[in-house]
Amino acid sequence: MFREKLSKFLPYLAIVPANPHPPVIGIKYFDLNTLMGQSLGWLKWPILFSLCFAAVTFVVATFYIIRYTRGYYEKRAVSKSWKCILAGFFITAIAETGELLCYYEWPNAGLIESNFILAIPHALGGFLIGLGAYLLYKEVTP
């Protein structure tokens, strides 16, 4: 019953059908005039700027978080919880770059861009941040 309802609803979620046989590297499909297969017109520069701004700010924030942590702990050992959180931020910063590429290459994003610099870093970064938060919780609760 649930599967039947879901199968009726899924076609409405599709914007542009993904390529069933994606290339290994899809950078040759990078086009500033389209985003996720849709023509942008005059919006191409604001969208490019916003995606670049998000990627750069995430990388800069990660840099300063790492610097702050080094300064805060100085000669003391950094706890395992913070190591997990910092690694999660660093890996997720890589995924922000993947978002920039994949949205412009859609529906022909390559396997490298869509998996190794988008999906896998997001999943791994989120897992590490969650694990770090759990370990931090365990450190502060009796």
SS3 content of the chain, % helix, strand, coil (to 5): 75, 5, 25
Percent of the chain with pLDDT over 70: 87
Distances (CA, A) of 135 to 59, 81, 111, 126, 127: 24, 5, 33, 14, 12
Global pTM? 0.73
Q: Which of 27, 59, 32 is nearest to 47 (CA)?
A: 32
What is the C-alpha to C-alpha distance for residues 44 and 39, in angstroms, rounded to an integer? 9
What is the C-alpha to C-alpha distance for residues 100 and 10, in angstroms, rounded to an integer? 25
SS3 call for 39:
strand
Report the 10 Å Cβ neighbour count for 103.
16
Q: How confident is the model at residue 109 (pLDDT cuts 50, 70, 90)?
A: confident
Largest interatomic CA distance in the chain: 60
**Taking the domains of the chain in order of start, what are their residue ranges?**
2-140
Least confident of 51-65, 77-91, 108-122: 108-122
Instruction: Compare 76 and 20 and report the one with higher pLDDT.
Output: 76
Percent of the chain with pLDDT over 90: 30
Model confidence at 16: pLDDT above 90 = no
